[in-house]
Amino acid sequence: MSQSTELGVISFVIGVLTGLTGVGGGAILTPALIFLGIPPLAAVSNDLVASLVVKPFGAVVHGRRGTVELRLLLWLCVGSVPAGFSGALLLALLPSPQAVNSVVRTLVGVTIGLTAILLAITLHSRRRQPASPDEEFRVRRRATVALGAIAGLLVGLTSIGSGSIIAAGLLLLYPRLATARMVGTDVAHAVPLVGAATVGHLLFGQVHMSVAFPLIVGGVPGVLIGAYLAGRVPNTALRAGLTVLLAATATTLLSSSVALVLVITAATIAVLAGMTVLRGERTRRNPLPPAGEGIGSRADL
């Protein structure tokens, strides 16, 4: 099987998982490219190019549904767009290709570990009752700009975080924002953020169309099929499985110890199981929020 075919198949599978669970494809695709032997910087650069083509599909859907909070989107972009471009610029300042790839690999591992933690938290958390339609929505400007800047820098450096970091941050900053509007804003914001980071990597990164094109060809139908199947496949179990996979992947990128990878994987499974038990007890004591408003919906991340 040629490398292009392998990349297309991998991108398709990851696209399906992304459409099913809402977990950002970069958190899975970038390490997959690294494990295939593609240099870390090239993996990040080409993942961003592919994401720039795939992301607008979801944004258009949410735009038509009217689930994008435009003021919130604007202030996120104030922080994220310059930070996304700056991430690629910072990598260009490192003295050698070896140093760049070493730093990128470490940053990817750390960011994936953070994504796994955030996914576990959002998977087993509950939100407050959403605000009523008549209640005025107020944007916390400084905090929102800071959230955008943090996510933007991570995306520029690693291609990861346009969904997971922003979704978790919005959940903390706006606990009464309706889930549909939080997800719609998150998905729409990924387009300018990834666009800015992609421009930076086109200038300073390692974009190769021989890698990016198969990722696009496989990723677009994969995401569409995954979105179509969402709701027909047990989502909670998939997201829990992805949390374990991300934890193991992060450990593998940061350490060569097989024993440590096994320990971290087992510990993640144990933590998720414990959180599930605690959530079950809490649910029995208190009623669940209205259907469709819990953060466990597939597109949260």
8 Å CB contact between 144 and 189? no
- d(CA 109, CA 260) in angstroms, rounded, equals 14
Sign of torsion over alpha carbons 165, 224, 177, 87: positive
**Between 214 and 56, residue with greater pLDDT:** 214
Q: List the end-to-end C-alpha distance of the chain, in Å, as a whole number.
A: 33
Q: Does pLDDT of 130 surpass 60?
A: no
* 3-state percent helix, strand, coil for the chain, nearest multiple of 5: 75, 0, 25
**Residue 290 within any structural domain of the chain:** no
Q: Which two tokens stand for residue 7?
A: 């990349």
What is the 8-class DSSP label of residue 271?
H
Q: Which two tokens stand for residue 3?
A: 């490398």
Q: Which residues form the domain of 258?
A: 3-285
- The arithmetic mean of pLDDT across residues 22-42, rounded, is 85
**Residue 157 within any structural domain of the chain:** yes
**Residue 299 within any structural domain of the chain:** no
pLDDT digits (tens, 9 = 90+) for 145-191: 999 999 999 999 999 887 778 878 888 888 888 777 887 888 888 88
**Residue 56 within any structural domain of the chain:** yes
Among 72-81, 100-109, 191-200, 291-300, the range scoring the smallest mean pLDDT is: 291-300
8 Å CB contact between 228 and 298? no
**Between 291 and 68, residue with greater pLDDT:** 68
**Residue 73 within any structural domain of the chain:** yes
8 Å CB contact between 211 and 7? yes
Q: Does pLDDT of 123 surpass 80?
A: no
Q: What is the pLDDT of residue 238?
A: 78
Going by C-alpha positions, the residue among 142, 82, 155 that lies closest to residue 115 is 155
**Residue 122 within any structural domain of the chain:** yes
Going by C-alpha positions, the residue among 161, 152, 163, 165 that lies closest to residue 90 is 152
8 Å CB contact between 230 and 298? yes
Domain count, the chain: 1
- d(CA 276, CA 50) in angstroms, rounded, equals 35
Secondary structure E strands in the chain: none
pLDDT band with cut points at 50, 70 and 90 for residue 1: low
**Residue 63 within any structural domain of the chain:** yes
Neighbours of 191 (CB within 10 A): 20
8 Å CB contact between 178 and 128? no
**Residue 165 within any structural domain of the chain:** yes
Q: Does pLDDT of 198 surpass 90?
A: yes
pLDDT digits (tens, 9 = 90+) for 211-268: 999 999 988 888 888 777 766 766 677 778 888 988 999 999 998 789 999 999 999 9
8 Å CB contact between 219 and 15? yes
